[in-house]
């Protein structure tokens, strides 16, 4: 076998490895600090402009999602709370409750259109993290997941999250504000927490599961701590 063929063979063998390496790369984003708190119901507050704009356009398996299902996220932090806002394109019928309950958490919210945040304050222990969900109707759900326990989900958890949402033509906007007591600690400048951002949209066989950091599971699955990306708190 001549040297040229050997070289081409070596390159072809390396290509799949490089591709896997790229897919294993975990994303990082900065969460910018704001000095003054504001009402999370003010979805157009000027403070949101200080946040990095995260654009999510991939399904959980790394495949590109249609433009009409993609979403953007802005995250801020103050001395008292975390602010998260999702702006999602909506080019298909909404899958939401006809009679939304807004005064308490909505169980099984994940079965309809929803955006989610998993965020672990201790990057050395990714198996424990609060989970927050928000629907286009303003319905919400919070819980703590701890895979070290036989029963990993704490449904009695009350974070004190404040939800907000708005449905417009071809777009839905959802946001929530979470006090630091929900995490048991407050971040300092340059702290790194880990987590992921998701959107579930549609129904049936065409339901889509988008992820900021693709989990790369065989079937749609969000609870994959080893794929969490990094959130860096900056001032």
Report yes or no: 197 and 56 within 8 Å, Cβ to Cβ. Answer: yes
How far is the C-alpha of 143 from the C-alpha of 146, rounded, in Å?
Answer: 10
**Opening angle at CA 140, ends 202 and 26, nearest 5:** 70
Give the pLDDT confidence score for residue 25 in this predicted structure. 82
Q: What is the mean pLDDT of each run of 10 residues along the chain (235 residues)?
A: 42 36 75 98 97 97 97 98 98 96 96 98 97 98 97 98 97 98 98 98 97 98 98 97
Question: In the chain, how many domains are there?
Answer: 1
Residue 168: strand pairing partners: 171
This prediction has a pTM of 0.89
- Say how many residues make up the chain: 235
What is the per-residue DSSP string for 78-137? Answer: -SSEEEEEEEEE--S-----SS---SS--TTGGGSSEEEEEEES-TT-TTEEEEEEE-TT
Residue in 41, 22, 2 with CA at minimum distance from that of residue 177: 41
Type and span of the H or E element at 41: none
Which residues span the domain enclosing 58? 3-234
Give the pLDDT confidence score for residue 200 in this predicted structure. 98
Give the pLDDT confidence score for residue 24 in this predicted structure. 58
Q: What CATH number should be reported for the domain holding residue 25?
A: 2.60.40.1190
């Amino acid at each position: 076998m001549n040297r040229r063929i050997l070289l081409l063979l070596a390159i072809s063998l390396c290509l799949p490895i490089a591709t896997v390496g790229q897919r294993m790369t975990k994303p990082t984003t900065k969460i910018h600090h704001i000095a003054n708190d504001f009402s999370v119901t003010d979805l157009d507050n000027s403070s949101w402009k200080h946040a990095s704009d995260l654009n999510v356009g991939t399904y959980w398996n790394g495949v590109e999602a249609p433009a009409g299902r993609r979403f953007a996220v802005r995250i801020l932090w103050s001395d008292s709370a975390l602010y998260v806002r999702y702006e999602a394109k909506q080019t298909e019928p909404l899958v939401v409750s006809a009679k939304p309950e807004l005064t308490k958490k909505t169980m099984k919210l994940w079965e309809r259109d929803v955006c989610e945040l998993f965020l672990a304050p201790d990057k050395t222990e990714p198996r424990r993290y609060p989970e927050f969900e928000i629907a286009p109707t303003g319905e919400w759900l919070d819980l703590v997941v701890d895979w070290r326990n036989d029963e990993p989900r704490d449904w009695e958890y009350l974070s004190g999250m404040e939800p907000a949402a708005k449905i417009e033509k071809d777009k839905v906007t959802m946001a929530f504000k979470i006090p630091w007591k929900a995490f048991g600690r407050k971040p300092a400048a340059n702290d790194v927490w880990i987590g992921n951002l998701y959107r579930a949209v549609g129904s049936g066989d065409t339901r889509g599961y988008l992820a900021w950091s693709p989990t790369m599971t065989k079937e749609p699955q969000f609870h994959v701590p080893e794929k969490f990306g990094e959130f860096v708190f900056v001032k």
